[in-house]
Amino acid sequence: MKELLLLSGLGIFALLAEMINARKIIFPAVIAGLCLNIFFCLNDIMAGNNENIFNMLLLDKIPLVFTLLLSVLAIFWFVMAKNYFKDETNLSDHFALVLFSMVGVFLLTSYTHMSMLFLGVEILSIPVYVLAGSDKRNTYSNEAAFKYFLLGAFASGFLLLGITFVYGGTGSFNTLQIASSSVLGAGVSKQLLTIGLLLILFAMAFKVSAVPFHFWTPDVYTGAPTVVTAYMSTIVKLGALAGFYRLFSIVLVFDATTFTTTLIIISVLTIVVGNVIAASQSNTKRLLAFSSIGHAGFVLLANTMLSPSTPYVVWYYLTAYTLSSMAAFWVLIKLDNHDISAFNGLVKRNPLLAGTMTIALLSMAGIPPMAGFFAKYFVLLNTIQNKSVLIAVIAILASLIGVYYYFKIIIAIFSGKEINSAKIELSWLDKIGLVLISILIILLGVLPDACYNLLFR
């Protein structure tokens, strides 16, 4: 509960900072609060705390490790975005929007009640609609916000209708009761329950950019300010996928036959379509947008292939991907040019940016010893152990396409003829952040068992 109160308190403080003349201390206060949140999470994980909040939220080990990842990512994001709103008069509003959105992520990692699922999705999404259009003088940013809001509203409608059908079919909003009722069958309308869960599945598939609900992603990612795109690609993606996992990992345990085939089809299509279309992109933001679709497919596949290690596999993949995506967008922000040709000769302009981008892309491509290698390995191993060898082969072939377009950027970094030979200067905060995130990506890949022993045992 204290993690939720801390995030909410930080958001309220940021919102009121202008009124109490505390604008200058928002950034250090937020960073200090997030560090404290990391301490709370680690302490609760080590102590084995298991807190049930009014039968609405359950804070056991799984939500806590997701909240730990959320806090680490948020620190990196705030450091990366420190200068973005420096000329804005409504600085505190932007900080508050991000922090309240993070409260939505927290709810999605820990809900056990359908009303908390809906609140989590809306608290996460509404601030991001505003942030996507925060570059008010850019028509593409305005278009991105409008498109994201309009399609998000339709998804919310599907979600609410699905929750209504589920309640009508089972008489309960509790996820465990809903899942167990689907097996017992007494007093349950199987038809209403199935329709309701399918509607929720479609709504959540939109939030995670799963095929065929992915069409908004490249346009919104491209039009939104790059800093906001980085937030959407990491923290928002984490919340949506954690929320998806939270519900369907329970549903599949009790009723695998109805939904497994649907989830496998969505997962495979998402992996293939994301990687195939990404290979044809010349705009780096669009490339990373389609790449994020492919990675979402891997997480959905991990969620579908249930095993005792599934929680760790989902968390590990999300950690490897979000850290790598954060690093890639950090470099893209410093380049301030979205064309792949902008990476030509980057190693000569700034070796640190070149090294960080290379590590991030190698990880997303699944090249050892980066974290992304074991992330994909664990997913594919679970898939093969579930006797789905053909699906694993398709996922591997799609990943090979990913290697092609990631290496296209890496080759440009080290051998391309630079368009602009001017050196890129970095602040000391940027340097520390880039070095730390690169070290984390490598350490996570070198010591995957240590992460499991530390956080999941």
Q: What DSSP string runs through 386-417?
A: TT-HHHHHHHHHHHHHHHHHHHHHHHHHHHSP
Token pair, residue 108, equals 């999605």
* Residue 53 CB neighbours (<10 A): 15
Collapsed DSSP state (helix, strand, coil) of residue 44: helix
> Do 242 and 105 contact (CB within 8 A), yes or no?
yes
> Do 335 and 323 contact (CB within 8 A), yes or no?
no
Token pair, residue 113, equals 């009640």
Radius of gyration of the chain (CA): 21
Say how many CA atoms lie within 13 Å of 249 toward its Cβ: 25
pLDDT at 160: 94
pLDDT at 286: 92
> Do 351 and 424 contact (CB within 8 A), yes or no?
no
> Do 297 and 210 contact (CB within 8 A), yes or no?
yes
Ramachandran angles phi, psi of 54, nearest 5°: 55, 30
Beta bridge partners, 113, equal 174
Q: Please give the Cα distance from 290 to 277 (Å, whole number).
A: 7
Type of residue at 357: M
* Residue 175 CB neighbours (<10 A): 22
Type of residue at 215: F
Phi-psi map region of 48: left, alpha, beta (phi>0 left; psi -120 to 50 alpha) = left
Tell whether the torsion through CA atoms of 196, 167, 242 and 329 is positive or negative.
Answer: positive
Type of residue at 322: T
pTM of the complete model: 0.94
Type of residue at 41: C
Tally the domains of the chain. Answer: 1
> Do 366 and 403 contact (CB within 8 A), yes or no?
yes
pLDDT tens by residue, the chain, 457 residues: 888 999 999 999 988 887 887 778 888 999 999 999 999 999 988 888 888 888 899 888 899 999 999 999 999 999 998 877 665 556 788 889 999 999 999 999 999 999 999 999 999 999 999 999 888 788 888 888 999 999 899 999 999 999 999 999 888 888 888 887 776 666 678 888 889 989 999 999 999 999 888 888 899 999 999 999 999 999 999 999 999 998 888 887 777 777 888 899 999 999 999 999 999 888 899 999 999 999 999 999 998 887 888 889 999 999 999 999 999 999 999 988 888 888 888 888 899 999 999 999 999 999 988 999 999 999 999 999 988 899 999 999 999 998 999 999 999 998 867 776 778 888 899 999 999 999 999 999 998 888 888 888 7
- Burial label for 423, CB within 10 Å (0-12, 13-18, 19+), is exposed
Token pair, residue 25, equals 């201390």
DSSP string of 316-345? HHHHHHHHHHHHHHHHHHHHT--BGGGGTT
What stretches of 188-255 show up as alpha helix (H) in DSSP? 190-207, 216-223, 226-231, 237-254
> Do 360 and 331 contact (CB within 8 A), yes or no?
yes
Q: Across the chain, which distance is largest between two alpha carbons, in Å?
A: 72
Ramachandran angles phi, psi of 339, nearest 5°: -80, 145
pLDDT at 277: 93
- Residue located via tokens 């980085």: 230
pLDDT at 253: 74
The torsion defined by the Cα of 296, 299, 303 and 305, in degrees rounded to 10, comes to: 120
Beta bridge partners, 59, equal 51
Which element (helix H / strand E) includes 53?
strand 51-53
Beta bridge partners, 53, equal 57
Domain containing 136 equals 2-455
- Burial label for 115, CB within 10 Å (0-12, 13-18, 19+), is exposed
pLDDT digits over 137-187, tens only?
A: 888 888 889 999 998 999 999 999 999 999 998 888 888 888 877 766 666
Token pair, residue 412, equals 């440009």
